[in-house]
Structures are given as C-alpha cells and as structure tokens.
Structure 1
Amino acid sequence: MLSAAQATGRGDVGEKVDAEPVSGRAMLGQTLKVLREKAGKSLGQLADETGYEKSYLSRLESGERLSKVTVMEDLDGYYGAGDLLVRHWHAARFDAFKDQYKEFMGLEATARVMQKFSPGIPGLLQTEDFARGVLSGAQTTAGGDEAIEEQVAARLGRQYLLRQKPEPDVRIIMDEFALRRPAADGETWRDQLLRLESAAMRPNLALQVLPFSAGAHHHMNGSLTLLWQQDGSAVAYKEGNGCSRLIEDLDEVLRHRLSYDRLRDLALSPSDSLALIRDVLEEHRS
C-alpha cells in the first residue's frame, strides 16, 4: 500500500508541485500518474487489470477528463491508497462550475442543515440517466457530450452530501410539476421515481411535494437553497432565469427563510408526499 506521501513523492500531499496555480483536475491527474508509476504499471497494464480503456485512463492522467467518483473509488482500491483519489476528485469537480457556484458548493458540503425548493427534481435526488437527460438539453456545440458527462459526474458527486457523517438534516420541497413531466425514456422515469421513493424514506431527509392546488407562488421561476453551518451562520442561494446569486446578508437570508416557511406550509406532508410519489409510480407502471 502506498502512503499519501509516497503517492505524490512529497511529504505534504496538498503541496503544489511548482509555483504556478494547479487546478484540482490537474492535481488529480498528477496523483493518478504518480500512483501508477509507483506501482510499476504501464497504462496498458492498468487498463487490462482494471477494465478501463487505456485512452480513457490517459485522459484522466492528463487532466482532460473528469471521471465519475466511482472510478476513483475503484482505483483507490486497486492502489491501496485509502480515499486519496476520492478526496482529490472532490476538489477537482469544482473546476466544472463557475466561481460563485463553487463558493456555494463549499458551503453546502459543510452545512449541518439544508432546506431546498426546486421546481423540478433536484440534482441531489436525480439518477444518473435522468441527470444526463436534463443536462443534455442545453448542449449543442462540438464536444458537448464530454461536457455533459463531466457535469453529470459532478452532479452525482454532490449526492455524497446526503451520506456524509455526521449526516446533515435536509428538507426538500419540489413542485408537483416535477412529477408530471416524465423522462422521455420509460425505464429512466421509473428508476427516477424509485429514487425519490427511497429518498423520502431516509431518516435525515424530509421530502415534500408542493401540489398544483397550492396555486401560483413566489418561487415558480427558480430554486432556493438555505444552508446553516454548525456555528449558526446561514446563507441563501437562488437560481433561475439563467442566473444565480449567493446571498449572505442576514436580513435578506431571513426574508428567504420566511418565504420558504410559507411554501412548506402549502406543501403536502412528508407522508402524503410519499403517497403521491407512489401513486405516480403505479400510474407509470400501469
């Protein structure tokens, strides 16, 4: 088994290899290459022994691609590196997002309490295939497929937030609209509904549906997230109409908290929401 120091060839894993800023993705690629070389493996041997394509592994080492986190879990196990690659991957995934969203993601990763409203199925609860369908809609340029896969990988990586220890207390309200616009592929939609059903039964997560009968409301055009840290500090994050904003002003955060409370009062209870999800699942099956 290679120690963290051996994996990077330095005494400090977090130390940069030169004076220039190194992206998270580049640092991950360097670590992958050093681990392989320390193990005395060629790219061809690594491909044969792990089942991943040689060209794919090469692009990971060069920093051209961001893998799914499960690939890093596999390679951590292969090299006996603990969770070294997974930790580097969590830093690397920030490269796929804009600066303000990176700041939000950092706060989300350490939040003890999360409250979210989403007009659609929130990213934290999406399956891989459903996420790919949602994210592919806006990609029409050359190289779009690769960009989509990186965004899918980063989105799925965020779902680790629900399983980290200590588990955060999470409440998610989603509009009934999310349940009434299925994925184009029937199997993808069934799997997504099953994921929602499973999430609704997690002990640290309360999932509520805001029914159509609640009428028009003030968050119809975007999502809202409220985060509380262990020290009691809070922020709000809004997305909608092609823009996003991280809100730290205490008075404004309080206003958004009150607006969220009003949505919660209009939403179905967690048990009634679970019953609705199951009804939609049965309708789909039949």
Structure 2
Amino acid sequence: MPQRRIVTGRSQEPRQRFAEELRQLRTARGDSLRQLGERMGWDWSLFGKMEKGDTLGGPEVVQALDQYYGTPGLLLALWELAQGDKTQFRERYRLYMGLEAEATSLWHFAVSVLPGLLQTPGYARELLASGGLRGEELEQQVEARISRRELLEGESPPLFRSIISEAVLRSPLLDVGEWRRQLEYLLQVSERRDVIVHVLPLEVGPHGLMNATVMFLRVLDGRTVAYMENGYWGELIEESGPVDRLQRAYDAVRDLALSPAESRKFVLRVLEETPCDPSI
C-alpha cells in the first residue's frame, strides 16, 4: 500500500493538530492570547496552554471557540480525537451542540437540575464537583459552562423558554449563600424579554416528561429537533414523528405549569424561605 501523502503539512498527531489549529485560527484573527481571553471571558493563560498542547480544555470551552471563530463543530471534532480513548463524544451530541449555537429559539424542561444556560458559577461548581471534578479541571469546566450564557446575552439572542420542576427549586445547594445567589439570578434573568421561565408544581402529579430533561431547538432551516438526556445518556432526535410526540408532551406540561408571573412569585417565595448567608 502506498504511503499516505501529507497534504497540509500539519501534524497528524491528534493532540498536536488540535493545538496547531487553535494557534492558526487565533493568529489569522489577529488576536493576542490576552485579547482572546478578554473577548471570550476566560483567563488567557488557558488558551496559551491549549495552544502548547499542555491541556485540551473542556468541551464547552472548545464549543465557545468554535462559535467565536465561525467553525461550528470543527474544533470540537478535533478535540474529541485528541481525547483518544478517554472521552468519545457521541456524534449526535456534537451535532446538537452545533445546532444549539445556530438555533433561533430554544425551549427546555428541567427535571432535576437547572439548565446550564441559567446557572450561576456557584451552582455549576457544586454540581460539577459532585460529579468528581476537582482543581483546575473543575474551574475550567465551570468557566466553560458559564460561557454558554453568552448565547442568551448577545445582540440577537434566541428566544429561550424553560419549564423547571419544583423539585429543582427544592434541591438547594450545600452553600446557602451560593443558593441564594442562584435564586436571585434566576429571578433576574426571568425578567428579560427573550427568556421565559415557568415553574411546574409537584402537585400536578405524573406527566409525560417525568424521566428526562429535554431541549427543543428551532434551527435555521425551520425544523425543530429535540435533545433528551438523563444521568447516563443523551440522544438527539431529528425525525419529525418522535419530535412531534415530544412537543405535544411538552405543551401539555406547559399547560400545567405556572405562568411566568406566578413562577417569579414562586421563586421569590423560595428565596424568602432560604436562610441568609451566615458569612454576610
């Protein structure tokens, strides 16, 4: 078999190739590492380490870079290859992440935890730490998750609707001060024109979305796709039949949920019931 011809002249080793692509995209953009850090909201040293191959960073950092450079899915695919056998993102999840970045509207149901788009750093940190992350890796993942909020904070953010089970609001953080800050942020963000928050009371009983979190995306070509996940798996659903059935279940749950105004009052009551931070 003839030896494979090298076309680009770049490294064929996945980790080094990932670092090279990051460096080339940044220099082509004309950004210094410090400028990139300021524009992305991360410590610039993280990007320096990624470009030297010292660290790969987290998936949400890479997704944010894909959005910044206008290379949807490219860097995330290279990141996955660089991870080797340690982490293999499912192809459908990679596709979902690209679709989310381009969605014109999103609607979501939270069965157990607040959606990442509405989390504060303290909430994300305690949640990720409970999954075993520690040290620098934990902080990178927290920063990566919080960066996703930029999706709702740009000049033309997509409409985002989230139905949050009361169970989520009855599962406070161990750090009472951080829990209060999370509730305050939820109240604050729910007042935005492009963000609609509903609370689904426990008293409504069984419903069609009890076993999984689901996110619907309206994408640029007018289609609606759905992404369902629980603690063990996630699946992107594009077929119109299953998506329609999930949409009907979501609509039925929305009919059971409190109105946005009533939901804000509910969150405010939970906040008022929460003890004050003893460190203040």
- Shared fold (TM-score greater than 0.5)? yes
AA aligned to 1:126 is: Q
| Cα distance between partner residues in 2 of 1:85 and 1:205 | 21
| Cα distance between partner residues in 2 of 1:242 and 1:84 | 26
Overall identity of the aligned pairs, in %: 32
Distance 1:146 1:231, change over 3 A: same
Does 2:48 correspond to 1:66? no
State whether residues 190 and 281 of structure 1, in contact with CA within 8 Å, keep that contact through their aligned partners in structure 2. Answer: yes
AA aligned to 1:129 is: G
- Map of 1:1-286 to 2, 5 A cutoff? 18=10, 20=12, 26-27=19-20, 29-31=22-24, 58-63=48-53, 64-66=55-57, 86-87=68-69, 92=75, 95=79, 98-99=89-90, 100-119=92-111, 120-139=113-132, 144-285=134-275
CA drift of 1:93 comes to 6.4
Distance 1:211 1:69, change over 3 A: closer
Q: Match of 1:139, SS? A: coil
Task: Give aligned pairs, total.
Answer: 246
| Cα distance between partner residues in 1 of 2:204 and 2:250 | 14
| Cα distance between partner residues in 1 of 2:116 and 2:67 | 23
| Cα distance between partner residues in 1 of 2:71 and 2:150 | 12
CA drift of 1:57 comes to 6.7
| Cα distance between partner residues in 1 of 2:66 and 2:24 | 9
State whether residues 132 and 149 of structure 1, in contact with CA within 8 Å, keep that contact through their aligned partners in structure 2. Answer: yes
| Cα distance between partner residues in 1 of 2:69 and 2:150 | 12
- TM-score, normalised with respect to structure 1: 0.72
| Cα distance between partner residues in 1 of 2:274 and 2:120 | 17
CA drift of 1:67 comes to 8.1
AA aligned to 1:116 is: H
Distance 1:107 1:32, change over 3 A: closer
AA aligned to 2:106 is: M
AA aligned to 2:167 is: F
CA drift of 1:113 comes to 1.4
Question: Which digits, 9 at most, give the CA deviation of each residue in 1:174-197, with x for residues without a partner?
Answer: 101111111111111111011101
CA drift of 1:156 comes to 1.6
State whether residues 118 and 223 of structure 1, in contact with CA within 8 Å, keep that contact through their aligned partners in structure 2. Answer: yes
Question: Which digits, 9 at most, give the CA deviation of each residue in 1:154-210, with x for residues without a partner?
Answer: 322221111234221111001011111111111111110111011110101110000
- TM-score, normalised with respect to structure 2: 0.74
